[in-house]
Structure 1
Amino acid sequence: MPTLAAVLLLAGLLIGRPLRAQTSLLQNAPARQVLSLNGSWNYIIDPYENGFYDYRRQAFDQSATGRGGYYDNQKPSSRQETELIEYDFDKSATLQVPGDWNSQDPKLLYYEGTIWYKKSFTLAPQAGRRYFLYFGAINYEAHIYLNGRKLGRHQGGFTPIQYDITPLLSPTGENFVVVKADNTRRPDAVPTINTDWWNYGGITRDVFIAETPATFISDYKVQLAPNDPNTLAGYVRLEGEGKAGQPVALTIAEAGIKHTVKTDAQGRATFRLPARKLRLWSPQSPTLYAVRLSSGSDVVQDRIGLRTIATRGQDILLNGRSTYLRGISLHDENPLIPGRARGAGDLRMLLTWAKELGCNYVRLAHYPHNETMLRLADEMGLLVWAEVPVYWTIAWENLATYQNAEAQLSDLIATGKNRASVVVWSVGNETPPGEARLKFMTSLVRKARALDDTRLISAALELHRDGYQVTVDDPLGAELDLTSFNEYMGWYVGGKPSEITQYTFAIKYNKPVIISEFGGDALAGYHADADTRWSEEYQEALYQNQLKMLSAIAGLRGMTPWILADFRATRRQHPVYQNGFNRKGLISSSGVKKKAFFVLQEYYRQMARQYEGK
């Protein structure tokens, strides 16, 4: 199967103007010397894409001159302003970056289409230095330009974007970047056209320019070898003309580790060295070591936890000990304020709620979350399930769709591979069985294993029901480390909460069982009896009976009920109980804990005592 880069290169050659290839993502990019581009960006709403196409629907940036689009940021050349220029960024309104556009302007609440962003900045390039423009995320398709020159096109609303802009910076120091952001849903995209979350548009995560020496440390992995707590293993990679045959020093002072490797012709070096008497990372003791990598004038520092994760039969072994994953699912959204989570404060609040619930584990659904979230989970002692948005029904037989999914998975693993909190890479959610889907998903599983052999691989599977008998036999399960599935007994399936305990499970695989979703909606403050939908009492009874039912599964080793907090979802239309929110949260959109929160909290206290003696 050709690589995504090859597909894009071929497409570019066919139209005469090849796309600039995105550079490999800098590991721990925010730790570099950076120039932040966060703040106010001018924007232009462009539903007809006048700034991208001419009247014959030909892209300006693919024309002979490459000029004519909004990315040129044109100004009249004379004081009389006789030229016809039908836009002006500098006189346009502004949006805050990072941030979605839907929550910043009422007329953009439901907008799906193109918006252009422009930011001017001052940066005079210095000799012997490299400069990388880095976007944490842009939803969904982005065309990015610097000083009128196209850097490239990126698809995927939740993974970082990075370009080497060194040769394109103005020697005067005066520069501007323009972004065409388009959140239009498409059947061949990842995720596809149908989702159960709000389609936030725009530049939703941090933007900065990272500066490095001419030859620099671009990537590294520092982790324990699989199933071996006494061996540190990984690699480091240099980029630049002087990358071959260079010494790179790895230092972990607290652990008494100092080791030097020499790079090969490709700038890469691996290491495997004894590391005894380490304090292993766990939710009970989230130890992080200060890790320093240096080569020549380049120094990168990180805080990394070291732990092992494995399965044995129906057990999950964290640092060799059986553990129970007391989890909850999360969206990248603060329910208390409109829009995407805006920064570390929002993310810390969500994880603090999870800790209060009694969690040692969170499922970051249904797409890659902010890298800051992973670092906070490291710090706070929460295990993480991280996922790509292969969600519901994807265009399984479309090569470009697969390549997009694989690219998003690769970037997710690239940004999270040094985070001790991440113990599961998930390749999808509720995908319907079929031959094309099995090939697609199996390829993703094998790609994940090739990229990272230190985590578990899973997916949230569907199940099948015959009366009160539930069968889990998805053939994809043979490829996975966990048997994880979503079930909604008492809400989408079955009758009253009191009937849930009649269900029994036939599970094909002798693997740890993780219930990746269950739940039901409740409008906070609406009270009735336990048989009345939408009431807190209904959700409370649903949880009570779900926990009784699930506890009968012999291999049950964890769960992530749906969901920690109410979240915005366009498809949720009921004018009384929903009003554009999915109300399955245990915490309301005003921060109130519903009755079911305390049911799950007590269950998790019992499981902590059973597995950890607490």
Structure 2
Amino acid sequence: MGLTLSAAAQQPFQTLLVGVDHRADVTSLNGDWHYLVDYPPFRALYTGSGAINDRGYAMNSHPDITSGPHNDEYDFATAPTLKVPGDWNTQVPQLFNYEGVLFYERDFDTTPKSGTRTFLHIGAANYRSHIWVNRKRVCDHEGGFTPFDCELTGVLHAGSNFVVIGVDANRLQDGIPSVGYDWFNYGGLTRDVSLVTVPAAFIDDYDVHLAHGSSWQPGNTELSGYVHVLGAAAGTSVTVDIPEARARTSATTDAEGNARFSVKAARLSLWSPDSPKLYKVTLSSGTDRLTDEIGFRDIRVDGIRILLNGKAVFLKRVNLHAEAPIRGGRANNDQDAATMFGYLKDLNANFVRLCHYPHDERMTRTADREGIMVWSEIPNYWDISFKKPEVYAKSSAMLKEMIRRDRNKASVILWSLSNETGNKPERTKFLAGLAAEARQMDPTRLITSALNTDRREGGKGILEDPLTDLLDVVGMNEYMGWYGDKTEDADTIQWTLPQKPFIMSEFGAEARLGNHGPVTRRWTEEQQAYIYKHQLVMFAKIPQLRGTTPWVLLDFRSTTRNIPILQDGYNRKGLLSDDGRKKQAFFIMQKAYKENTVGKPE
């Protein structure tokens, strides 16, 4: 069941307000924030002993430089500004390659209301964050891709207030991910920031889904789940109302604040890529009320098949990094989501792997509306410190934050635990613990990982990894014709794979847009397309194949990709260039997906 953690090693689990964008009393703090860079040795954030410095920039003092006493040489009031949400790398040329500490500051007006609680909601900040409001540190958080909330109740006062956030983007050996990864380390407040005011007892978490039994039941219209009311006494009433489905019920909270419910829907259409139906679901308890949009569907495995609402499906998909097309930088707005989903639709994809970390919530909400199924992943990438309990605690916290945020998204069908981790006993024990936690939190979805532990014996490819025993769906990354093997070997290779639904979770080759030549010349569009053609021949011979995921939809920045002219700081395996222009390989997968010539659901 994973590692046993001492109390000191356990990661604090911050309050997480699920459904923030569907609450009534939310004030956006997006926009211009003043900033100051804390260059090494980072004395504004850390003391000489390595503790957090609560007396540095967090004080937000305004020294009188003309006649007052000597003070630290800083003043946020006259400092330049950055847009939030947004990474600092693409906004300030001098900070493009900066991986360090930067402080943000913003003034805001508010009037605290009696009988309420106020939180600062941060969609994501990369990588470690320390937050002060009116000179009081209100919370700390580690993890660059999941949301968290800091309670401000009792810290705010009527009128003008200020918040200072120190964000440390330094890579950590014991971080998740660790120090080595193949994407750009965008630092800063990369997602939305807002103030959220709620009643003293309020709904902070909920799960509303189609009842998930041991087998698929045709005609199932039973909805079940729970609503958690933080600060509620046992016996507090909760109401779940879905008018269009003619489903309404009430329940009461237990001693832990959970109100579990079950209700039959009189009229229910199930969510699918062909019909991505969403229902307005209103949850209320006391004076708290929120309305979300939720779809209902059933996802499970049957032998080597993946069943959606009882029907076998093949996942026609692609990998996607959270990097904004055309403008570059971390994707974080509605236009970014619309552009990327436009590419997915053009490719005829019905599924996307959001790699290698949870993406902005706009992506999963857009997937709900557009009917695109989703693989969502936490950044246990390559080699992390699997033996350390404190690292397991960090990964567990990220898993919980990912699941809590997106458990009500019908589009999300797979929780992924890792990518390309080595076959070591400590890795398997680590991920076994996470798999158990994920299933306990959400037994309605499937568990997967992307493996690269296959080996070759003659003309055979063999995947024997104990991690596959823990997975519902097995993913495997291979780059035949690029990193190893001959391109043509794909035509004849015989795979020995687990008897489970199998997804070729990565394959492909790098090509610079507009670089042309024979199929034998590396970095050409022709060679990339040639590799894809032979991959399709191989896919037809894998009985367990239930999905294919080319690497990757768009070229993306990576500090490890520095061949001049060909890469220039980009991973060039995209089916499209970073500015959205199509390479030859795009049309190969577009045609295969449209004509359903790759893979079969049964």
Asked whether 1:119 is paired with 2:110, we answer no
Query: For 2:140, what is the secondary structure of its paired residue?
Result: strand
For 1:586 and 1:503, the matched residues in 2 are separated by 25
- The answer for the alignment partner of 1:488 in structure 2 is 479
- The answer for the alignment partner of 2:351 in structure 1 is 361
Q: Is the 8 A contact 2:349 2:593 kept in 1?
A: yes
Aligned with 1:283 (options 252, 264, 273): 273
Q: Is the 8 A contact 2:273 2:370 kept in 1?
A: yes
For 2:477 and 2:399, the matched residues in 1 are separated by 21
CA-CA distance at 1:152 after TM superposition: 2.0
- The answer for the alignment partner of 2:582 in structure 1 is 593
Sort the Cα spacing of 1:4 and 1:176 in 2 relative to 1 into closer, same or farther, 3 A: farther
CA-CA distance at 1:272 after TM superposition: 1.9
- The answer for the alignment partner of 1:14 in structure 2 is none
Asked whether 1:236 is paired with 2:244, we answer no
- The answer for the alignment partner of 2:144 in structure 1 is 157
Q: C-alpha offsets along residues 423-452 of structure 1, whole Å, 9 cap, x if unaligned?
A: 000000000001111101111111111110
Letter in 2 for 1:567: F
Asked whether 1:174 is paired with 2:166, we answer no
Q: C-alpha offsets along residues 90-128 of structure 1, whole Å, 9 cap, x if unaligned?
A: 111111110001101111111111111111111110111
Aligned with 1:273 (options 263, 283, 308): 263
Q: C-alpha offsets along residues 155-211 of structure 1, whole Å, 9 cap, x if unaligned?
A: 1100112011111112x3211111110111111110010000000000000000111
For 2:459 and 2:521, the matched residues in 1 are separated by 22
- The answer for the alignment partner of 1:190 in structure 2 is 176
Letter in 2 for 1:527: H
Aligned with 2:427 (options 434, 437, 440): 437
Letter in 2 for 1:373: M
Aligned with 2:83 (options 77, 88, 96): 96
Letter in 1 for 2:340: L
Q: Is the 8 A contact 1:522 1:533 kept in 2?
A: yes
Asked whether 1:452 is paired with 2:442, we answer yes
Q: TM-score, normalised to structure 2's length?
A: 0.95
Q: Is the 8 A contact 1:71 1:145 kept in 2?
A: yes
Q: TM-score, normalised to structure 1's length?
A: 0.93
- The answer for the alignment partner of 1:503 in structure 2 is 493
Query: For 2:580, what is the secondary structure of its paired residue?
Result: coil
- The answer for the alignment partner of 1:50 in structure 2 is 43
For 1:165 and 1:343, the matched residues in 2 are separated by 26
- The answer for the alignment partner of 1:64 in structure 2 is none
For 1:378 and 1:605, the matched residues in 2 are separated by 21
Asked whether 1:142 is paired with 2:129, we answer yes
Q: Is the 8 A contact 1:30 1:210 kept in 2?
A: no
Q: Is the 8 A contact 1:125 1:173 kept in 2?
A: no
CA-CA distance at 1:575 after TM superposition: 0.1
- The answer for the alignment partner of 1:464 in structure 2 is 455
List runs of 5+ in structure 2 lacking aligned partners: none
Sort the Cα spacing of 1:23 and 1:156 in 2 relative to 1 into closer, same or farther, 3 A: closer
Structure 1 window deviating more from structure 2 (460-469 vs 282-291): it is 460-469
CA-CA distance at 1:135 after TM superposition: 0.4
For 1:424 and 1:58, the matched residues in 2 are separated by 39
For 2:80 and 2:594, the matched residues in 1 are separated by 51
Q: C-alpha offsets along residues 247-291 of structure 1, whole Å, 9 cap, x if unaligned?
A: 111111111101111112222110122235410000000000110
Matches within 5 A, 1:51-450: 51-54=44-47, 56-57=48-49, 59=51, 61=53, 67-76=54-63, 80-170=67-157, 172-226=158-212, 227-228=216-217, 229-240=220-231, 242-275=232-265, 277-450=267-440
Query: For 2:221, what is the secondary structure of its paired residue?
Result: strand
Aligned with 2:556 (options 567, 574, 582): 567
Sort the Cα spacing of 1:78 and 1:355 in 2 relative to 1 into closer, same or farther, 3 A: closer
Query: For 2:563, what is the secondary structure of its paired residue?
Result: coil
List runs of 5+ in structure 1 lacking aligned partners: 11-20, 62-66
Sort the Cα spacing of 1:79 and 1:432 in 2 relative to 1 into closer, same or farther, 3 A: same
Query: Percent of aligned pairs with the same residue?
Result: 43
Q: Is the 8 A contact 1:22 1:162 kept in 2?
A: no
Q: Is the 8 A contact 1:234 1:270 kept in 2?
A: yes
Q: Is the 8 A contact 1:75 1:85 kept in 2?
A: no
For 1:610 and 1:431, the matched residues in 2 are separated by 26
Q: C-alpha offsets along residues 386-439 of structure 1, whole Å, 9 cap, x if unaligned?
A: 000000001110111111011101100000100000000000000000111110
Query: For 2:172, what is the secondary structure of its paired residue?
Result: coil
Structure 1 window deviating more from structure 2 (361-370 vs 28-37): it is 28-37
Q: Is the 8 A contact 1:60 1:68 kept in 2?
A: no
CA-CA distance at 1:529 after TM superposition: 1.2
CA-CA distance at 1:3 after TM superposition: 8.5
Sort the Cα spacing of 1:287 and 1:9 in 2 relative to 1 into closer, same or farther, 3 A: closer
- The answer for the alignment partner of 2:565 in structure 1 is 576
Sort the Cα spacing of 1:23 and 1:394 in 2 relative to 1 into closer, same or farther, 3 A: closer
Asked whether 1:604 is paired with 2:593, we answer yes
For 1:591 and 1:180, the matched residues in 2 are separated by 34
For 2:387 and 2:14, the matched residues in 1 are separated by 28
Query: For 2:307, what is the secondary structure of its paired residue?
Result: strand
CA-CA distance at 1:602 after TM superposition: 1.0
Letter in 2 for 1:538: Q
Structure 1 window deviating more from structure 2 (200-209 vs 25-34): it is 25-34
Q: Is the 8 A contact 1:231 1:273 kept in 2?
A: yes
Letter in 1 for 2:474: T
Sort the Cα spacing of 1:382 and 1:466 in 2 relative to 1 into closer, same or farther, 3 A: same
For 2:120 and 2:102, the matched residues in 1 are separated by 20
CA-CA distance at 1:8 after TM superposition: 6.2
Q: Is the 8 A contact 2:448 2:474 kept in 1?
A: yes
- The answer for the alignment partner of 1:7 in structure 2 is 8
Letter in 1 for 2:179: I
Q: How many residues align?
A: 593
For 1:579 and 1:605, the matched residues in 2 are separated by 33
Higher relative contact order (CA 8 A, sep 6+): 2
Q: Is the 8 A contact 2:299 2:306 kept in 1?
A: yes
Query: For 2:282, what is the secondary structure of its paired residue?
Result: strand
Sort the Cα spacing of 1:605 and 1:340 in 2 relative to 1 into closer, same or farther, 3 A: same
For 1:100 and 1:541, the matched residues in 2 are separated by 37
- The answer for the alignment partner of 1:476 in structure 2 is 467
Q: Is the 8 A contact 2:306 2:601 kept in 1?
A: no
Q: Is the 8 A contact 2:15 2:148 kept in 1?
A: no
Letter in 2 for 1:49: F
For 1:430 and 1:316, the matched residues in 2 are separated by 23
Letter in 2 for 1:173: G
